[in-house]
Amino acid sequence: MTQDNHGKKYKFGMVIDLDKCTGCGSCMVACMSENNVPFKEDETNKKDSITWMRVFKLTNGKPFPETDICYMPRPCMHCGGKGDHGHSPCVSVCPATATDYGHDTGIVSQIYTRCFGCRYCMGACPYHARYFNWWDPKWPDGMEEYLSPNVSPRMRGVVEKCSFCYHRYQAARDKAYHEERRDEIEESEYQTACTQACPAGAITFGDLNNPDHEVCKFVNPDPHQCGKPRNPKAFRLLERLQTNPKVYYISEREWVRKAGDNYRDGEWGKEIHSSDGNSHK
């Protein structure tokens, strides 16, 4: 198996260093602010609170004082899907083609005006990365003044999710085009809002197809195994489901790496986590 985007233009991805992440939430808010994400009076029901980037808090489950915690930021994984061919769990199920896989970028798009709100894609995504607009977005008087024209505010009844700040890619592409560089976007020209904001420098973003890019150096993705990281400290969430995410995590802590997937008793520690998660067939 080779990755679909191998040899294609770009395959944008993200690497998050969980040992650096402080759980500060800047990425969450940077994303809300960049992407016109609305808010409501009560956001404490986390199951209906739109956070394209959500920081989960994990614990190792041990009693005091052996306890440890880890924060895990979760944007959309921009899954390549089985075989990394672009059949992401969500894209493959959308009946109206309202979410699509960009074969030239690896980015999973979401077209709000096409989406009719069946929510099938939400059921398909194991990462809870998709959010439904249960309400009309509404801002306190005057506050809609700060909305950005680069991302259209969504209407009630449609699904939204992290876009890898696609409008920033468009802007970088346009700029390159105007400067007659055609397809050559510099690593620094296209960075997502969360990457840029993270005060701990825990997030790295770039082209996984480009060996010069930091993301590629960090995880050393294996093109013959759908981008599985070759760095033993790196992992992807739910690797075993073969969703082939383009968001990678790094941690020195074994319990954290183990929490990235499901293992039956006794599996972890055997070769399962070093063997090919995609080779179950």
Q: Which of 14, 15, 108, 115 forms a contact with other proteins (CB under 8 A)?
A: 115
192 binds, among other proteins, ligand SF4, none (CB under 5 to 8 A by kind): ligand SF4
Q: Is 231 exposed, middle or buried (0-12, 13-18, 19+ CB in 10 A)?
A: middle
DSSP string, 238-281: TGGGT---SEEEE-S-HHHHHHTS---TTTBTBBTTTS-TT---
- Give residue 242's region: left, alpha or beta (phi > 0; psi -120 to 50): left
Q: Using the rule CB under 6 A, is 161 a contact of ligand SF4?
A: yes
Q: Using the rule CB under 8 A, is 182 a contact of other proteins?
A: no
In the complex, the smallest distance separating the C-beta of residue 25 from ligand SF4, rounded to whole angstroms, is 5
In the complex, the smallest distance separating the C-beta of residue 162 from ligand SF4, rounded to whole angstroms, is 3
Q: Using the rule CB under 6 A, is 164 a contact of ligand SF4?
A: yes
Q: Using the rule CB under 8 A, is 70 a contact of other proteins?
A: yes
Q: Which of 1, 6, 9, 49 forms a contact with other proteins (CB under 8 A)?
A: 49
Nearer to ligand SF4, 172 or 200 (CB): 200
Q: Is 239 exposed, middle or buried (0-12, 13-18, 19+ CB in 10 A)?
A: buried
For residue 254, what are the contacts with CB-CB under 8 A and spacing of at least 6?
Answer: none
Q: Which of 10, 13, 15, 27 forms a contact with ligand SF4 (CB under 6 A)?
A: 27
Q: Using the rule CB under 6 A, is 89 a contact of ligand SF4?
A: yes
164 binds, among ligand SF4, other proteins, none (CB under 5 to 8 A by kind): ligand SF4
117 close to 106: Cβ distance less than 8 angstroms: no
For residue 13, what are the contacts with CB-CB under 8 A and spacing of at least 6?
Answer: 78, 106, 205, 206, 207, 208, 215, 221, 227, 246, 247, 248
Give the separation between CA 154 and CA 67, rounded to whole angstroms. Answer: 41
Amino acid at 56: F
In the complex, the smallest distance separating the C-beta of residue 266 from ligand SF4, rounded to whole angstroms, is 29
Q: Using the rule CB under 8 A, is 180 a contact of other proteins?
A: no
- What are the CB-based long-range contacts (under 8 Å, 24+) for 41-48? 48/132, 48/134
9 binds, among other proteins, ligand SF4, none (CB under 5 to 8 A by kind): none
Give the separation between CA 96 and CA 166, rounded to whole angstroms. Answer: 21
Stretch that binds ligand SF4, among 155-163, 177-185, 206-214, 219-227 (CB under 6 A): 155-163
Stretch that binds other proteins, among 28-36, 176-184, 206-214, 218-226 (CB under 8 A): 28-36
195 close to 204: Cβ distance less than 8 angstroms: yes
Q: Using the rule CB under 6 A, is 241 a contact of ligand SF4?
A: no
> Interaction with other proteins in 243-272: which residues (CB under 8 A)?
243, 258-265, 267
Residues at the interface with ligand SF4 (CB under 6 A):
21-27, 30-31, 34-35, 52-53, 55, 71, 73, 75-79, 88-90, 93-94, 96, 98-99, 108, 115-121, 125, 127, 129-130, 159, 161-165, 192-194, 198, 200, 202-203, 243
